[in-house]
Amino acid sequence: MNRFQFFAKASLATLILATGSAVFAGTANDVLPEIKAIAAKPEVIAAVKAQNGKGLTLDAIKAMDSKWIAASGGLPEGKAMMESPVSKALLAAEKAKPYFTETILTDNQGANVAISSMTSDYWQGDEPKFVKAWADGKGDDYIARAKKDESSGAVVSQVSVPVMEGGKAIGTLTIGVNLQALP
């Protein structure tokens, strides 16, 4: 990358952070078809259905969430989740796109089903990325406001879509998108 390209990208990132996500909305919208295609994969739908079939109560999910947070990613359940076939498939899809940064698949209550990397919490059900994409079971697309990732310096937006079956949402898929890495 030459100096002009570097400064152009840096200026764009500064503009985005100063004005909000509207500047990136069109760009983030460009990846929606890719993310929806991942959410529609049979193995993704099957994993969400299997988790939903466990009949976990919200109290049980919140108890696991508390353990998950306290363990800071050290729970055997989290490590096992990352080793699941669907987590590995999501990680492969993420690695195939240089602009994908993190992938979280949730059930119908916002509990993690599959993750590409360790999350800070187990329950996403109280966060906009789940609430907006779940849309009371109707399903909707949601593009979060772009934020600068302090660890990487990248400008990232979380793009969430419902996992659908029979015209109804059964879970959600959230993928972090590095907006500066989009083609």
Give me the residue spans of the domains in the chain. 3-181
Residue 122 has pLDDT above 80, yes or no: yes
pLDDT at 81: 94
Mean pLDDT of 66-89: 91
Task: Determine how β-strand 168-178 pairs with β-strand 100-106.
Answer: antiparallel
Per-residue pLDDT tens over the stretch 43-55: 999 999 999 999 9
- Global pTM value: 0.84
Task: Give me the residue label for tokens 């979060």.
Answer: 144
Mean pLDDT of 15-30: 54
Residue 27 has pLDDT above 90, yes or no: no
**Nearest to residue 118, comparing CAs of 82, 171, 83?**
82
Q: How confident is the model at residue 182 (pLDDT cuts 50, 70, 90)?
A: confident
Per-residue pLDDT tens over the stretch 149-173: 887 788 999 999 999 999 999 999 9
Identity of the residue numbered 92 = A
d(CA 6, CA 127): 34
Task: Determine how β-strand 155-165 pairs with β-strand 142-143.
Answer: antiparallel
| Residue bearing the bigger pLDDT, 86 or 181 | 86
pLDDT at 18: 45
Residue 70 has pLDDT above 60, yes or no: yes
CA atoms lying within 13 Å on the CB side of residue 8: 5
pLDDT at 10: 42
d(CA 48, CA 107): 5
| Start-end of H helices in 53-180 | 58-71, 76-82, 85-95, 128-134
Mean pLDDT of 54-78: 91
Q: Which residues, 6 or more positions from 88, have their beta carbon under 8 angstroms from its beta carbon?
A: none
Residue 20 has pLDDT above 70, yes or no: no
Cβ-based burial of 74 (10 A; exposed 0-12, middle 13-18, buried ≥19)? exposed
The mean pLDDT value of the chain amounts to: 87
Assign a CATH topology to domain 3-181. Answer: Beta-Lactamase (3.30.450)
